[in-house]
Amino acid sequence: LRPHAAPLKVMRIVDATRRLIRSPTVTFRASEIGEEQFGLNLPNNVLIPVLAKAVAAHPGIEWRKSMVETWRLEADRAHASLADGGEVSASLAVAADGRLSPAR
């Protein structure tokens, strides 16, 4: 991955809302906290295949490639009904399907 990584030295926070009064744009520099960089940026088309391979090979991860249709939460478990007809439940559920996720 290293040849594809770009250092993140400056981070800019911009209020992209359409509100009448917006927050000011703020720029942070890694050098302000004594660091060369905050981290590394990787293109999704490089990172995703590497992560998919690692997840598929890990014995402790069950990767279900189906959308969750409904959630049912209990005190100690999350239950999900999937679009492919399957069902899963676990003490920890991770929804990694973006900012419009129904699990948010």
42-69 pLDDT tens trace: 999 999 999 999 999 999 988 888 888 8
pTM of the model: 0.61
pLDDT at position 65: 84
Burial class, 32, CB count within 10 angstroms (exposed 0-12 / middle 13-18 / buried 19+):
exposed
Sign of CA dihedral 45, 104, 75, 77: negative
**pLDDT averages per 10-residue partition of the chain, 104 residues:** 96 94 96 97 96 94 86 93 93 79 71
DSSP 83: T
Sign of CA dihedral 78, 79, 81, 82: positive
